[in-house]
């Protein structure tokens, strides 16, 4: 097989009429659009933040508050028992 196929040098390149093959110049995104995008992403991240830590802190504060109330009541009752005359 000594035959080789060559393309003639005077032939024009084949152009596709398919719309996706056209190159579209890239458009720059304006500063306002970029700020709006960053703000939107920040709002989405903030709205999806974890509330588990917040609920844990509230629960811990509530338990601590209840414990301090019980301790104050015990101290008050002890003071009353020590200061009242015996029956």
Count H helices, E strands: the chain?
2, 0
Q: For position 28, what pLDDT does the model report?
A: 87
Q: Which residues, other chains included, contact 29 with Cβ-Cβ below 8 Å and sequence gap of 6+?
A: 37
Nearest-CA neighbor of 83 among 72, 68, 73, 75? 75
The residue whose two tokens read 């008050």 is: 76
Q: 0.85 cut: is pTM over it?
A: no
pLDDT for 19-68, tens place per residue? Answer: 566 777 778 889 999 999 999 999 999 998 877 777 888 899 999 999 99
Tell me the CA distances in angstroms from 49 to 3, 35, 38, 53, 54, one per residue in order: 70, 21, 17, 10, 10
């Amino acid at each position: 097989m000594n035959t080789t196929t060559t393309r003639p040098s005077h032939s024009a390149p084949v152009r596709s009429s398919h719309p996706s093959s056209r190159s579209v110049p890239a458009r720059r995104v304006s500063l306002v659009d970029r700020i709006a995008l960053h703000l939107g992403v920040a709002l989405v991240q903030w709205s999806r933040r974890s509330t588990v830590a917040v609920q844990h802190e509230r629960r811990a504060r509530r338990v601590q508050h209840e414990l301090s109330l019980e301790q104050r009541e015990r101290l008050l009752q002890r003071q009353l028992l020590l200061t009242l005359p015996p029956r």
